[in-house]
Amino acid sequence: MVKFQGVPHDSAHKHVTGEAIYVDDLPCPPGLLHLQPGLSKRAHAKITKLDLSAVRAAPGVVCVLTAKDIPGTNDVSPTGTNDDPVFAMDEVVYAGQAIFAVAATSLAAARHAATLAIIEYEDLPVILTIPDARAAKADLEPEQLMFMGSTEDALRFAPHVITGNLRVGGQDHFYLESQAAQCIPGEDGDMTLTSSTQHPSEAQHLIAHLLNKKIHDVRLVVRRMGGGFGGKETQAALIAAMTALASYKTGRPARLVLDRDDDMVMTGKRHDFEIDYKVGFDDRGQLSGIFLDLASRCGCSMDLSAAINDRAMFHADNAYFLNNADITSRRFRTNTVSNTAFRGFGGPQGMIAIERVMDAIALHLGKDPLEVRKVNLYNKMGRDFTPYGQRVMDNVAPQIIEDLEARADYAARRKAVRVFNDSHSYVRRGIALTPVKFGISFTTTFLNQAGALVHIYTDGSVHLNHGGTEMGQGLNTKIAQIVAEEFQIDFGKVKITATDTDKVPNTSATAASSGTDLNGMAAQRAAQTIKIRLVDFAARDAVCNAKDVVFENGHVRAGTKDWTFEALVKAAYMARISLSGAGFYATPDIHYDREKHTGTPFYYYAYGAALSEVEVDLLTGESRILRVDIVHDVGKSLNPALDIGQIEGGFVQGAGWLTSEELVFDDQGVLRTHAPSTYKIPACADRPPVFNVTLYEDGENTKDTIHKSKAVGEPPLMLAISVFSAITDAVASVGDYKTLPDLHAPATPEAILRAVTALQEGAKK
């Protein structure tokens, strides 16, 4: 049967032939209008003049949209904060904010016309950076505090206390398919949109509000995205809203596919952070307590920043018992694009903070960083509760680390690195092993629900639909496997269909790694509702007990009877049995009090560990990954090939975040790295040349998840923190492993050379 097999992605064949259809590949409907937004060039300014007459008069232009054309609410904020206008009204709050959009008969015409706008601004004071915002007290929401014990007291008695800081840069999603949507108007003012979105229901709701319609008037369809990574969770709604507004104004179909540069300046990114710590520990490096301050640049609006920064706090322990902790979090408003969800959702920033602390302690004590990490791991002896009060019941970090250490020969290789470094003048190597513990569930509890719909047709073919969206992760493949398993039929008999708000309503975003956990369970239940009817029918027909009805290998056996699946379905239909079923799932056992930052926000944790070895050139600051070994826990894998794909891909994406991917805003707040020519995601040669990925053999979810599997979308990204620690280790050789390098992320050649130079100059003094 298909369960637990590495079935290729359901669309793989279509990917390689070019037949897989993305939004901009749809055949153009008659009268299609192409949109091009006109963007603010200023980070914060009053619009004193907006003259669009030349735009309107340009060839091919059918209409020009501004905020005044919106019949309902000019807002696409995901949490009802009303601070994400589709079009700026009188004031712009970031460079790249949309002010208008042109709808024209061709894309070239729309783009040409958009350049003809005359916009005059009166500049207002700008807040661009975290230090700027801190000075201006520009908080989006009050400072948050998560604490346990008494850190003040703990540090008073700690044998060692050190302080330090770390700056961590943001990251552009760089999904290969830029944001895209198409709207087709229907009768009664209905709007049907095809959108590259992770969150069709939210776009549906926002567009209904935008156009003063009921939610049932708007339909969103998503077959697939060309990558999402969180970047199409909230940001896609803006693009979809513009097409819906164009269709509303003109009665014509409308399409908007963002130019890459526009996409990069218009849409949000991973939050950059500034982290300060003061940590107390004993001679073994075990923490007595920690003050940790996490400050982030949220950009011009709230978006999901509250939950993202909460998740940074939730993961500031990573896999470690902090003993006593005061974790504070500042969320700053700046005149930059509103930062948003990105794989890990704040978790990576919290996690790299504590990993930096581990490296700092090890260098302070002259110990192997892995030894320091190990003495701080959660364990059973009263050291199993998190700063937010959840007990860590499923901890496998120690076993995974032990497994990885042995597989990858940590001790011998660490020695070899030291030997290498003694014999080279300007090339240094570094090595680091870091764990990951990542909490699974939306921390906004109500989002942890999902629905699915399964039909069986009279020929035995199965139609599957659910609320999750496919962005490349193989969600549809896994869920089709689950349904096929339930009916014991071939994977190929289950038809995967586009996510559609008409089929499964009120869905949550495909986010928080939850796609399979939630939708897989809902799909299984949908299948089971039909299966129960089929079992009942078969038992009656065969005059046997329901428990004696067996689905196996495309057959159903009951008593002396044996049907093919198709025959049973046909017979059930003739007996007037319903062959359609809906399923619903809500994650049990989770709750969270956001006021106090306590509770059990996570259903379970996913674990992993990575060992990275790197090389650094002390003359230029260039670095390379030499080898990476990973052991990662996916529970009982639903599809090892897809799971390994998530681990390899997530790791490389994380390595990009921490090395070559640098977002540079100039002092006017204009993003200068807005295309692949200037923003460098990892290329083929940047992947680890030796890359050993192993699924944790004993993995099994202790909770009742779908077939005991674990979520895998986000956790592997944070395995790449080992690369940053390994670079830190390589640079620390310059100071004879006595001083923590002043290295910040991303560790570009420049950042590395600066850290190297500081150590060399420190040595001279």
Scanning 329-474, the segments in alpha helix (DSSP H) are 347-365, 369-376, 397-408, 410-422
Q: How far is the CB of 127 from another protein (least distance, A)?
A: 21
DSSP string, 578-602: --EEEEEEE--S-EEETTTTEEE--
Q: How far is the CB of 174 from another protein (least distance, A)?
A: 5
Tokens of 619: 């003359």
- 369 or 713, CB closer to another protein? 713
Q: Is the peptide bond before 185 cis (omega within 30 degrees of 0)?
A: no
What 3-state DSSP class applies to 465? strand
CA dist., res. 466 & res. 583, Å (int): 9
Q: How far is the CB of 578 from another protein (least distance, A)?
A: 35
DSSP type of residue 734 = G
| CA 134 from centre of chain | 27
Q: How far is the CB of 404 from another protein (least distance, A)?
A: 12
- 111 or 284, CB closer to another protein? 111
What angle is formed at CA 91 by the lines to CA 86 and CA 94, rounded to 5 degrees? 70
* Burial of 636: CB neighbours in 10 Å, binned 0-12, 13-18, 19+: middle
- 191 or 471, CB closer to another protein? 471
Give the active site residue among 120, 355, 714, 750: 714
- 469 or 600, CB closer to another protein? 469
Name the β-bridge partners of 45: 92, 123
Q: How far is the CB of 269 from another protein (least distance, A)?
A: 14
Tokens of 513: 């790694």
Q: How far is the CB of 246 from another protein (least distance, A)?
A: 19
- 24 or 541, CB closer to another protein? 24
Q: How far is the CB of 59 from another protein (least distance, A)?
A: 5
Residue pair 160/364 in contact (Cβ under 8 Å)? The answer is yes
- 235 or 443, CB closer to another protein? 235
Tokens of 711: 């979520």
- 147 or 174, CB closer to another protein? 174
Give the residue from 485, 489, 465 showing the smallest Cα distance to 475. Answer: 465
Q: How far is CA 503 from CA 451, 453, 455, 496, 619, in A?
A: 9, 7, 11, 13, 59
Exposure on the CB side of residue 133, measured as CA atoms within 13 A: 23
- 26 or 544, CB closer to another protein? 26
Tokens of 173: 């999603």
Residue pair 441/514 in contact (Cβ under 8 Å)? The answer is yes
Tokens of 496: 């995967």
Q: How far is the CB of 306 from another protein (least distance, A)?
A: 27
Active-site annotation holds for 714: yes
Q: How far is the CB of 764 from another protein (least distance, A)?
A: 15
* Burial of 28: CB neighbours in 10 Å, binned 0-12, 13-18, 19+: exposed
Residue 158 φ then ψ, to 5°: -75, 135
Residue pair 296/262 in contact (Cβ under 8 Å)? The answer is no
Amino acid at 315: H
CA dist., res. 107 & res. 35, Å (int): 7
Q: How far is CA 158 from CA 283, 285, 290, 324, 369, in A?
A: 9, 11, 11, 11, 19
Give every CB contact of residue 688 below 8 A, 6+ residues apart in sequence: 612, 625, 626, 627, 628, 651, 652
CA dist., res. 535 & res. 558, Å (int): 9
- 81 or 757, CB closer to another protein? 757
* Burial of 446: CB neighbours in 10 Å, binned 0-12, 13-18, 19+: exposed
CA dist., res. 582 & res. 504, Å (int): 9
CA dist., res. 51 & res. 30, Å (int): 30
- 34 or 437, CB closer to another protein? 34
Q: How far is the CB of 176 from another protein (least distance, A)?
A: 4
Report the catalytic residues. 714
